[in-house]
Amino acid sequence: MEANNISIKETALASKKLQSADCQTLMGSANKLIALKGKKISEFDLKSEQSPLALAAMLGPTGNMRAPTLQIGKTLIVGFNEEVFASQFG
């Protein structure tokens, strides 16, 4: 985050496992979800519906929320992809 001059307002310790209910709370305050898994980029419109696919994209194989998770205005970004971060924050 520092390399892209992103200031962090709130952090959660890794020991605090955020799960499905936490994802749903975040999705309720967002209009768009961008889920990044390696080179795969998935976008979801949360204004109309919080789909099970959007929820699944936010969770890792252990059932915990994937990191990093960013909320920028009404957009959620979950996961990491260098190209996306460079285009969004560079």
* Structural domain that includes position 74: 2-89
Per-residue model confidence as pLDDT tens digits over 52-78 = 999 999 999 999 999 889 888 899 999
Task: Kindly tell me if the per-residue pLDDT of 6 is higher than 70.
Answer: no
Q: Structurally, how many domains does the chain consist of?
A: 1
Task: Kindly tell me if the per-residue pLDDT of 36 is higher than 70.
Answer: yes
Buried (b) or exposed (e) across 34-54, using 16+ Cβ within 10 A? bbbeeeeeeebebeeebeeeb
| Higher pLDDT, residue 84 or 81 | 81
| Higher pLDDT, residue 17 or 2 | 17
